[in-house]
Every structure is written in structure tokens, then in C-alpha cells.
Amino acid sequence: MKTFIICGLLVFALIFYIKPIEVLAIPSDQNIAMIKSWALPLPGDQNSGFPITSSFSGNDIYFADSSSNTIGSLDVNTNTITTWNIPTANSLPSSIKYHSSGNVYFIESNANTIGRLAPQTNTITEWAIQSNSSASSAGNNSAANDNIRQFNSVDVDPSNGNVYFIESNANTIGRLAPQTNTITEWAIQSNSSASSAGNNSAANDNIRQFNSVDVDPSNGNVYFIESNANTIGRLAPQTNTITEWAIQSNSSASSAGNNSAANDNIRQFNSVDVDPSNGNVYFIESNANTIGRLAPQNNTITEWAIQSNSTSINSIALGFTGSNEIYFADSSSNTIGSLDVNTNTITKWNIPTANSLPSSIKFDSTTGNVYFIESNANTIGRLTPISSEFTEWKLQEQPSAIEIDSAGSVHYIDENGSKIVRMD
């Protein structure tokens, strides 16, 4: 009994006389991101831009460096960076795209060439596009200047691995079928493909300025922009059919929005994104401060004008699949915006850092967060739409592009090409 009483007194003394261990509390308004960087074995004074793409597993990041004429890979599991020299000298690689087969496709802008890196075998294969060399029943090639056909966008059909690309100076959409080493081109002739869907009235049909391509994974159709023609085009490879929808001044204005471009001659389309859940196609009309939607099923175009004292939409991202919600970056008004096409509602959030010049908006389908670059502030920002909360990470360098992998980590390469950074 005495032992029990003594033990009780000791416990009492411990509770009242020993100072508890102090717990470090993180303020609720602060956010911590684990940041890891990998130095790149590349010249540090390039300022050439570094397109990046991440693998679906999130374990590999591929990048193109135009100055050193290489394709590179970072394996974040082993902290290993590998670079492959492109066989064609001074090829100016860009617009890199990863395919689930493990192959990586890219454009060689100075060489009129499509390249493929097979990392498993350390092999780079190149397909050169010669003038009229691949013309087939699908189309003919009549570029004004065959020396530089100006490839500027590439996308891969996930279902079959076919690679689609734009030849801006040739008014041409091209397809590489790697399995058969076949290249097919479809040339867009003035009014040649006008159909009931729309008519084409470009001010200058010599150069229609194709600048974006996106494959609809549900059916293999390929959508593209003809900026100088105020036109959205669709290639149906199965039938060798091209259909165009011309955006006329106020021609498609509906209850959803009105179109008030300062210059309707050139509305400056600069992005196209396909919603795989329904086949709708979204695009930006920069000179009109407008987001447009093409519903190919019923040949309907709807436009939403983003009204603001100063508006410059430069980037859009689709929200959750099937949600019909579009996010956009407005650099002039320093805001991130959301368009709900079901209710025709536009919501805008002011970015905390003034004059940050937001761009490169990305949607994280894992969390529903929206990431973007603040170009004037060396900052990556995150908007949580459900709570209207912003988080900003000030960086030592200016990021040139951002990608979000399947685990929700944010990757970027700094503008000087000195390192790859991952934020968890």
C-alpha cells in the first residue's frame, strides 16, 4: 500500500512540476511546400525556352533544349538526368509530347522534321517532311516556302500512337504513323473545305497561321486553329475530311455572351482544348477578350465575352472532366477566372501580388486546384476555387513553364535552363 501511495505522489509531482515539451505550431495562413531541384547539365545562358512534359506515372520528366540540341529526361526516383543528342544539327527541338508507350515525340523546327525518342533503347528516330514527298490522296502540300514549313505544335493520339502536327507556312496538318513509317498531309486550300458547318474568309489565305492542335481521344478527330482566318478546323482522319467553322463578328453571339472585338478581322485565336467527355472544343479569341466553344455535334458556336476594364486572356485550362468549367488567366486585370458554361457564370479572383502577369494556367484534376505562373513576380501561384484561397510561392528564378504530374506535384524549369524543380 505504501508503494502505491509513493507512486501516486510521484505521478502528481510529474504532472505539476515538469514543464511540458513545447509544440511548434505552424500558423494557419502559412503553407509549406517540399521543394527539390535538380541541376541540368546544360549551358546556363540559353534563355531559349524549355518545353516540358511529365510521364503519366509522375516518375519521369522529359524536356527539350533548343540551344544544346538535346532531349533530356529526369528520373525523380533515382535523381538521374539523361540527355540525348539529336542527330540533325541545329534542329531547334520544341513542342515535346509523351505517349503511354514510353516514347517521346518532338518537333525539329529548323529541320522540317518530327523526332521520336525511345528511352528504353536510347534511340532517336527522325522523319523529315520533304516538299510534296508525302502527298497522298488525303491532301496535297503547297507551302509558299518549303525551306521552313514552321512546325509549331504536336499532339499524339493516345489510342494508336499517331502523331499530328502543324506546318504553319504550308497551311497543312500532318500525321506521322510511326508503326508504318507513313506521313500523310492534309493541305487547307482557300474555301476548299468550306461546308455547311461554316465558311472560310481569311484575309490572307496564303498563310492561315495554324498555331495549335489537339486530338479528341474519344474518336481520333483533330482540331486546330487558323488564326489569320478566324477559323476552327477539324480533321477527321478516318474519312480524310476537313471541316471549318469561321467565327464571324457577332455571328454566334447568344444569351451566353456577346462578342465585341476591337478588330474583327483578326480575332487572334491562340489556344484550343477538347473536352473528351462530350467533344466540345474551347478556344481563346485574344483580340476579342472572349472564350469560345464549338459544339461539333450540332455545328454551334457560343462565345462568352470577358468584360473587364482591361482584359488579356492568354491561357485556359479545362476543369474536371464533364464539369463544363473553364479556368483562365487574365494578365491585364491580374486575375484568375472561371467560366461555368452551364450557368453562363463568370467568376474572377484577384491575385494577391499586384501586376503579377499570370500565365500558363494548369488544372490539377487530383485536388481541383489551379496553378499558374506569375511572370512579373518570379512566383508560382495556386488558387483553391472551392475556398477562393490563393497560395503563392516566391522563387529565386523565373519559371518558364509548369506541368502537374499524376501525383499532384508541380514541376517547372527555370528560364535559364539551369535546373528542374519539383514542388510537392
The domain in which residue 69 lies consists of 40-128
Q: What angle do CA 325, 28, 357 make, to 5 degrees?
A: 45
Task: Give 161's contacts (C-beta < 8 A, 6+ positions apart).
Answer: 99, 101, 103, 178, 179
Q: What is the pLDDT of residues 387-416, one digit of tens each?
A: 999 999 998 888 888 888 877 888 888 877
411 within a domain of the structure (yes/no): yes
Asked if 235 and 225 touch (Cβ cutoff 8 Å), the reply is no
Closest CA to 149 of 127, 173, 167: 167
Report pLDDT for 40: 81
Which of 109, 128, 147 represents a domain boundary (last residue)? 128
The domain boundary, picked from 94, 111, 128, lies at: 128
Q: Is residue 134 part of a domain?
A: no
In a domain, 81, yes or no: yes
Within 13 Å, how many C-alpha atoms sit on residue 231's CB side? 30
> Which pTM value belongs to this model?
0.80
Higher pLDDT, 202 or 290: 290
- Who contacts 111 (Cβ-Cβ below 8 Å, separation ≥6)? 88, 91, 92, 126, 128
- The 10s digit of each residue's pLDDT in 40-64 is 875 544 545 567 777 665 678 898 8
Residue 406, pLDDT score: 78
CATH number at 87 reads 2.40.10.500
117 part of a folded domain: yes
- Residue 333 in any domain: the answer is yes
Q: Which of 128, 154, 178 is a domain's end point?
A: 128
Contact at 8 Å (CB) between 214 and 156? no
Q: 165-197: per-residue pLDDT in tens?
A: 988 777 889 999 999 999 999 988 754 333 334
How many angstroms separate the CA atoms of 397 and 33, rounded? 16
CATH of the domain at 360: 2.120.10.30
DSSP state of 25: P
The answer to the question of residue 4 being in a domain is no
- Number of domains the chain contains: 2
pLDDT tens digits, residue range 303-335? 998 876 656 888 899 998 778 899 999 988 899
Residue 282 lies in a domain: no
195 within domain boundaries: no
